[in-house]
Amino acid sequence: MKRIRNFSIIAHIDHGKSTLSDRLIQTAHIVADRDFKDQILDNMDIERERGITIKSQTVCLPYVAADGQAYTLNLIDTPGHVDFSYEVSRALASCEGALLLIDASQGVEAQTLANLMLAMEHDLEIIPVINKIDLPSADIERVKQQIKEDLGLDPEGALLVSAKEGTGIAEAMEAIVHRLPPPKGDADAPLQALIFDSHYDPFRGTIVHFRVFQGAIKPGDRIRFLSNGYTYKVEEVGLFQIVRKPQRAIAAGEVGYLIAGIKTVSDTRCGDTITLHANPCPQPLPGFREAQPVVFASIYPVAADTYEELTVALEKLKLNDASLIYEKDTSAALGFGYRCGFLGLLHLDVVQERLEREYDQSIILTVPSVGYKLILNDGEEMMIDNPVLYPDPTTIQQSLEPYIRASIIVPDRYMGAVMKLALDRRGINKNYQYLTSNRLEMIFELPLSEVIYDFYDRLKTVTQGYGSFDYEIIEYRPGKLAKLDILINGERVDALSQLVHEDRAYSRARVACDKLAEEIPRQQFKIAIQGTIGGKIIARSTVNAFRKDVTAKCYGGDITRKRKLLEKQKKGKKRMKMVGKVMLPQSAFLAVLKSDSE
């Protein structure tokens, strides 16, 4: 066990975690050069296309140190985006140390601080690493000063690395071996192992990723999951070395996988403890905090007969993404579907794309909303995230909406633009402080509903990509809530309903009606699209009808002939409108999701 090191790489988005992992993997020579590709641990297409990490991945690296000793390094590469910080906390639970990566040109950013706090909660040994020292804009001295002032770590111990060029990688390997502590544990004690991830393999069933804290596990053992008491016989255990490498046993301190013919996807839970059936451990390991969803939306299949397939796809996705929460839902316009909870809009976007790509599902998403708290006249409290369940407004005494505390770190030249953006979103400026001579941290309290819409994109735009943003939910505060309904041809489409703040209702309704008018194809009759609150219409757009020129064959003669034909046409259109049904294309639902491109 003295020769094992479990560590993860944590950092803000785009500071080079995946590239550093690539170099460490190349140094360990576990992949032949011809098979090597960049971002080798990002195995989902969507990760490679967007250049982001979504799932934390594990890899076991053999390494011979300068003193000739052979070590086993278990590296867990983690995501940097605020929506996936839950993945990071799960990865850190199975480590003893972490490399905190900082970009030499960008310096310390919001997510760097957030990830440092997560690592400190788990009592990890932290090595600061300054990456991208090959950039012309790299300012190493300034970053060292930030490490001392903002993070409170010793800047002298910081490693200087360029993951792209491969500079300083050997020193980083030595630092991991000599500065990070080995795992503690007793290989002879009863088995105690923590599940930190799992994925589904169509041939082998559920493959569980785990870290052993006490005891050992080998093929043939009968194991038990403590949360639900299910028992299984282990078929195979092994290590991750890009491909799965079976082993005779996995002992205390090691990270690996197990296959035990687990057919039901929902049996394995992240944070659960594995022990031996015959010789169980006295108590389970402390699991993870449950992820709290902040954004809610409904997912419906485009064709009603694919509902069963969607159910199976969500189950398999839930195994791989423990933070996804869903329950059954129905809609008059779209039939049966699921109401899902997400950690943020990027998370929603990724789940939608994975369902479409990996599971071949054609789905419709409804407008995302946040969870509101309503206090009714009889004093009863209710949580609501679905506009369909919104009660009669006369029965509501008070509505409360969730607020967040947002920390935005920007170069000071963008202070005015960020201030305007936050105040436009009903933000309250709490304070700001200079972190260095030209970078400041601004603290705002904002309603969450204003942030989920397109706040992050707008922030990146007004700060030319230099702004970094991190948030935590603080409390519920009173707000004026209204339910905005969209009527098409006088019929309400419940999938387009939204819960909005009264001050925002008019602009939201205006945008939704205009977007729908662009997307809905023209019919033989006029289509009215209206935004309403209660019985009051606050916005309207019209899709004009196709018009046949019925007077074309009349030339000259009395005007009454033309008028007669036009009247006849008008009556026909009116009759058609009574029976005409408007089919909403999929793009219309998506158009309402997109905010106005101001």
| Annotated binding-site positions for GTP | 14-19, 131-134
Q: To which residue do tokens 């799960």 refer?
A: 90
Under DSSP, is residue 5 helix (H, G, I), strand (E, B) or coil?
strand
575, burial (CB in 10 Å: exposed 0-12, middle 13-18, buried 19+):
exposed
The interaxial angle of helices 345-358 and 448-462, nearest 10 deg, is: 90
Question: Residue 482's beta-bridge partner residues?
Answer: 500
| Tokens, residue 593 | 């999701």
The interaxial angle of helices 586-593 and 502-519, nearest 10 deg, is: 150
CB 341 within 8 A of CB 296: yes
Return all residues near 367 (Cβ < 8 A) that are at least 6 apart: 297, 387, 496, 497, 498, 592, 593
For the beta carbon of residue 556, count every other beta carbon within 10 angstroms: 5
Nearest to 83 by CA among 257, 339, 292, 230: 292
Return all residues near 439 (Cβ < 8 A) that are at least 6 apart: 107, 409, 410, 411, 412
CA 103 – CA 129 distance, rounded (Å): 9
Report, in angstroms and rounded to the nearest whole number, the Rg of the chain calculated over CA atoms: 29
Return all residues near 68 (Cβ < 8 A) that are at least 6 apart: none
Burial readout 315-330 (b: 16 or more C-beta within 10 A, e: otherwise): ebbbbbbbbbbbeebe
Nearest to 360 by CA among 312, 396, 430, 413: 312
Nearest to 321 by CA among 118, 90, 55, 89: 55
Query: What are the backbone dihedrals phi and psi of residue 573, each rounded to the nearest 5 degrees, phi first?
Result: -65, -40
Burial readout 527-549 (b: 16 or more C-beta within 10 A, e: otherwise): bbbbbbbeeeebbebebebeeee
The interaxial angle of helices 17-28 and 169-179, nearest 10 deg, is: 90
CA 336 – CA 327 distance, rounded (Å): 11
| Tokens, residue 592 | 């309402």
The one-letter code for the residue type at 138 is A
What one-character DSSP code corresponds to residue 291? Answer: P
Alpha carbon of residue 247 to chain centroid: 34
Alpha carbon of residue 13 to chain centroid: 13
Nearest to 78 by CA among 106, 115, 46, 37: 115
Return all residues near 292 (Cβ < 8 A) that are at least 6 apart: 473
CA 385 – CA 421 distance, rounded (Å): 26
The annotated binding site is made up of 14-19, 131-134
Nearest to 501 by CA among 356, 390, 399: 399
Return all residues near 591 (Cβ < 8 A) that are at least 6 apart: 515, 516, 518, 519
Nearest to 239 by CA among 231, 247, 248: 247
